[in-house]
């Protein structure tokens, strides 16, 4: 984009428009939680996805509703990009009965089985093996479905990731390992967690095709996702994709964890540097430069997405809370 994207330039216009809308939709939805969190209206821990939108949107655009996705603690973007209902997600984060998990899960347990979002969970690396199993199910049934596991750089410290890569490679399972490298595992900069910073190299000893891409370039992510999906469907999985990206907010909540604040983690210049590489801003520049969308159309999209977010918040606020008498509903043993 602006010359820094080397991918296929013959994308259908509606696809490009949809990339923009979806990234914007996620960003506006995420940022709309800041106020309710600060006001004490939303209590459950929210790990905001702002800044990483291109990864979820690019990968999920390469999938169909029949393909499977598993998320992690920071999965608002994955859920929305896979086609989950925004109303149900916002209601879940407000812990309402109308939420996608009926107020039993909160921000970290988002699920939409109808569109292949089989769930998310905050045990770091805990859902990688679940995606492995979904890919195994696809292989046993020979139904051509692909499973995607989204995890962060922090998950590379967990042994189960390596167990999963080994088995996936051994059985050539249709699974795409998508590592969202945002350079921080909660408060720990990657340099304090790993000897090497090149995460994509960890898949190579298993014979897994692996690459590192600009995770803030939605077209690069889409191209990598499409290639990985094709390989997996042809029985030549798995594939590993490391997406370099950055979260604007801190690990949890709206705090930006900037140095000098009470969390005291990230240099201000680093955050500003990544703001320059903002996936939405860059893509909007590309769309106008290529005359795919006008500034007016971009503004209209923003207004439309804002309306959807406002509607979702209204829906959540007027939705009933779970009833205390139903504490043990969904308990079977």
DSSP string for 243-282:
EE---SS-SSSS---BTTSSS--B-HHHHHHHHHT-HHHH
Contact assessment for residue 40 and residue 79, using Cβ atoms and an 8 Å cutoff: no
DSSP summary character for residue 310:
H
Number of neighbours of residue 129 by Cβ within 10 angstroms = 17
Contact segment (CB under 8 A) with another protein among 16-24, 49-57, 124-132, 277-285 equals 124-132
DSSP summary character for residue 72:
-
Q: Report if residue 281 touches another protein, rule: CB under 8 A.
A: no
Q: In whole angstroms, what is the distance from residue 221 CA to residue 231 CA?
A: 15
Q: Report if residue 68 touches another protein, rule: CB under 8 A.
A: yes
Q: In whole angstroms, what is the distance from residue 161 CA to residue 121 CA?
A: 15
Among 18, 129, 212, 263, binds another protein (CB under 8 A): 129
Contact segment (CB under 8 A) with another protein among 8-16, 119-127, 200-208, 228-236 equals 119-127
Per-residue mark of binding to another protein, 135-154 (x: CB under 8 A): xxxxxxx---x-x-------
Among 163, 209, 255, 297, binds another protein (CB under 8 A): 163
Q: Which 3 state secondary structure label does DSSP give 209?
A: strand
Among 15, 43, 65, 113, binds another protein (CB under 8 A): 113
Contact segment (CB under 8 A) with another protein among 116-124, 186-194, 227-235, 254-262 equals 116-124
Query: Count of residues binding another protein (CB under 8 A)?
Result: 46
First-last CA distance in the chain: 54
Q: Report if residue 75 touches another protein, rule: CB under 8 A.
A: no
Q: In whole angstroms, what is the distance from residue 89 CA to residue 81 CA?
A: 12
Residue 295: both structure tokens together: 């500034």
Q: What are phi and psi of 28, to 5 degrees?
A: -65, -35
Instruction: Report the residue number, 29 or 169, with the smaller CB distance to another protein.
Output: 169
Q: Report if residue 170 touches another protein, rule: CB under 8 A.
A: yes
Contact segment (CB under 8 A) with another protein among 98-106, 216-224, 256-264, 278-286 equals 98-106
Residue 28 has, within 13 A of its CA and on its CB side, a CA count of: 20
Q: In whole angstroms, what is the distance from residue 150 CA to residue 332 CA?
A: 30
Question: To the nearest whole angstrom, how small is the minimum distance from the Cβ of residue 22 to another protein?
Answer: 23
Q: Report if residue 103 touches another protein, rule: CB under 8 A.
A: yes
Instruction: Report the residue number, 141 or 291, with the smaller CB distance to another protein.
Output: 141
CA-CA-CA-CA dihedral for 203, 208, 210, 215, to nearest 10: -80
Instruction: Report the residue number, 129 or 263, with the smaller CB distance to another protein.
Output: 129
Instruction: Report the residue number, 85 or 257, with the smaller CB distance to another protein.
Output: 85
What residues line the site for another protein (CB under 8 A)?
A: 68, 70, 99-105, 109, 111, 113, 118-119, 121, 123, 126-141, 145, 147, 159-160, 163-164, 166-167, 170, 329-333
């Amino acid at each position: 984009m602006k010359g820094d994207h080397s991918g296929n330039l013959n994308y259908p216009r509606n696809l490009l428009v949809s990339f923009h809308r979806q990234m914007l939709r996620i960003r506006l939805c995420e940022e709309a939680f800041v106020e309710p969190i600060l006001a004490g209206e939303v209590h459950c821990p929210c790990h905001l996805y702002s800044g990483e939108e291109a990864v979820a949107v690019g990968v999920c655009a390469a999938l169909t509703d029949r393909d499977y996705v598993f998320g992690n603690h920071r999965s608002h973007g994955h859920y929305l990009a896979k086609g989950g209902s925004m109303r149900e997600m916002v209601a879940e984060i407000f812990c309402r009965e109308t939420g996608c998990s009926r107020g039993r899960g909160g921000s970290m347990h988002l699920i939409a089985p109808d569109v292949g979002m089989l769930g998310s969970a905050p045990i770091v690396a805990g859902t990688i093996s679940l995606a492995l199993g979904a890919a195994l199910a696809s292989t046993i049934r020979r139904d051509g479905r692909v499973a995607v596991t989204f995890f962060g750089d922090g998950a590379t410290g967990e042994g189960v990731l390596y167990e999963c890569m080994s088995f996936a490679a051994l059985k050539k399972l249709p699974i795409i390992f998508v590592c969202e490298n945002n350079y921080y595992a909660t408060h720990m900069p990657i340099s304090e967690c790993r000897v090497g910073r090149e995460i994509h190299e960890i898949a190579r000893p298993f014979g897994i095709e692996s690459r590192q891409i600009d995770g803030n370039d939605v077209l690069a992510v889409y191209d990598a996702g499409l290639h990985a999906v094709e390989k997996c469907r042809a029985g030549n999985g798995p594939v590993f994709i490391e997406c370099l990206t950055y979260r604007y907010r801190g690990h949890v909540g709206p705090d930006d964890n900037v140095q000098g604040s009470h969390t005291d983690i990230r240099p201000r210049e680093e955050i500003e540097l990544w703001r320059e590489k903002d996936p939405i801003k860059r893509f909007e520049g590309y769309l106008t430069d290529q005359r795919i969308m006008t500034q007016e159309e971009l503004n209209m999209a923003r207004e439309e997405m804002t309306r959807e977010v406002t509607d979702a918040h209204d829906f959540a606020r007027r939705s009933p809370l779970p009833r205390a008498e139903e504490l043990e509903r969904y308990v079977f043993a």
